[in-house]
A and B are shown apart, each in its own frame.
Chain A
């Protein structure tokens, strides 16, 4: 019984490995980053964001090579003065998916005070 269970477990593990390997073989990546000409500072912390919208946490993997893989579709982020609201990758399983970026809309600076000669402080 125990032996049978172990064999079953190994079979499932093998199957998973095959599926994973096939998956990796087909893997495509999407890189979305800033315009390299617009240097704003050195690369900082790397975060990993879970599916479902939970908080991003520090990625335990540190590997500069991950940013430079083949089969990576590369996209350049726009300048969004107030930040980025979100990024939609349409049809992510396609070789060259559409990337749609929504900027944050700049809002009021706060409640201003009128200046005598026009304008607001």
Chain B
């Protein structure tokens, strides 16, 4: 069927960034508003996009059985949250960014946002974070937080719970004020909390722009469901994020031995006073080398960043290239398991530690604009693996120790992580499926170049936490240990509320199938 205003391609081999989904054929790869024909330009872009969505959703819903529709983002996710079948929607043309007209703000929001200088910005879901940083920066604004890198599209970024390590902010989705979901042909809903930030005029404006019937829906549960939606509540047309006045980040990276109590003061209770006398930083992150000997002075690197007013004109991030070629990284991935069986652990660990030391050094950081601090990735595409566990900071020291010990035990069997642990922190999320469940949380990311041992290493980390009796959740966009029982245990009634919200937003079985996924079914979330 022809799709209006849509570029349609049949792909023979589609792979995600890290190749955890590899060379998948896609019969209908659909890019709304992806045509460059001048005839299309007579229709305004929002109308073109809405017409394209109408046709795509009609096509999927009317098929027998209904066809699953996957909207891709930056394609960085490693889990099967994005697991395409035959219909894929590429939202790259959904990239408009506009400040919300002040008359559409409620008095309550204006009063609450004033102290932090909050500025609501309506951003279409296909906007790349790098573009968003650029547009906001040029207007003297910035996001309050982001992921570690900027290649995501906004809708995918929030759908998987992507976060940074801004201690007072939380994840990106915790800075979202409203979400516009297209749930059926011609139908959309603007979700926001019951303590609404926007008058119905905002929904009316979206309706006037797009021609979609947009329902203003101030509802706490449905909004909290949409904050981390796993791509399963509808097509994310736009998101209103709260930007703040542009700022710079400035601070230091401090190397520490793993025996240094100052490291554990940070990891256990976010006490940075032993490293810097300034009050609590805006951002705290720790990198831990699991193979450093206890006395190695570079067993960990603590990054402390503070906010300050801009000292220079806005600038975007520098260009970045992958640190190594993908085929070189795959060669390393093949060689290291062999070397791990031939070389004694102390030699392997010395080699790996030397490589890590070469990449991280003590230094003053900044001043950097947020988009520079968290800019383009240098990871080689096509060979990445990662899992991330999240648990109560009250278990921080025990949890991190358990993971490091698990990695060392794996190393003694010749299984090495080709990466360094990334430790970040954040407060409880407001989202029903937000990974951060405790008042303050520790995120431990376990990234690696892929090897034949990576899965076993990941499983050892998860098992170490279970053995230590530490409840944990996992990053939705990374490889994870989640099961239906585990989701129920971790999220409790919030998981049931999320399912109920999904059924309210997508009342028919066909809608639920179109926006469904094997992961949802496996985890009891469909």
Task: Report which A residues bind B (CB closer than 8 A).
Answer: 79, 81, 105-114, 116-120
B322 at the interface (CB under 8 A from A): no
Interface check B96, CB cutoff 8 A: yes
Complex interface: chain B residues within 8 A of A81 (CB): 36
- Give the CA-CA distance A110 to B139 in the complex, in Å: 8
10 closest residue pairs by CB, A with B: A118-B208, A112-B98, A118-B209, A107-B131, A111-B139, A114-B101, A108-B97, A120-B98, A108-B95, A108-B135
Does B99 interact with chain A (Cβ within 8 Å)?
yes
Known interface pairs A108-B127, A120-B98; 11 further A-B residue pairs with C-beta atoms within 8 A, sorted by A's residue number: A105-B92, A108-B95, A109-B96, A111-B138, A111-B139, A112-B98, A114-B98, A114-B99, A118-B205, A118-B209, A120-B209
Tell me, in angstroms, the Cα distance from A105 to B99 when the chains sit together. Answer: 22
How many B residues have CB within 8 A of the partner chain? 31
Given contacts A118-B205, A120-B98, A110 and B44 within 8 Å (CB-CB) = no
Does more than half of chain A's interface fall in helix, strand or loop, or is it mixed?
loop
Minimum CB distance partner of A112 in chain B? B98
Which chain B residue has the least Cβ–Cβ distance from A120? B98
Question: Is the Cβ of B205 less than 8 Å from the Cβ of A114?
Answer: yes
Point out residues on B near A: beta carbons under 8 Å: 36, 44, 46, 92-93, 95-101, 104, 121-122, 127-128, 131-132, 134-136, 138-139, 141, 205-210
Q: Is the interface of B mostly helix, strand, loop or mixed?
A: mixed
B95 with A117: CB separation less than 8 A: no
- Complexed CA–CA distance, A116 and B104 (Å): 10
- In the complex, 23 of the A-B residue pairs with CB atoms within 8 angstroms, ordered by the A residue number, are A81-B36, A105-B92, A106-B93, A108-B96, A108-B97, A108-B131, A110-B135, A110-B139, A111-B97, A111-B99, A111-B121, A111-B136, A111-B139, A112-B97, A113-B99, A114-B101, A114-B205, A116-B101, A118-B210, A119-B44, A119-B46, A120-B96, A120-B209
Chain B residues positioned under 8 Å from A113 (CB to CB): 98-99, 101
Alpha-carbon separation in the docked complex, A51 to B508 (Å): 57
Bound CA–CA A62/B206 (angstroms): 56
Interface centre among A106, A112, A116, A120 (most CB of B within 10 A): A120
CB distance from A91 to the nearest CB of B (A): 14
Name the A residues within 8 Å of B132 (CB-CB). 108
A64 to B436, CA, bound (A): 64
In the bound complex, residues from chain B placing their C-beta under 8 Å from that of A105 are 92, 128
Distance between Cα atoms of A59 and B209 in the complex (Å): 50
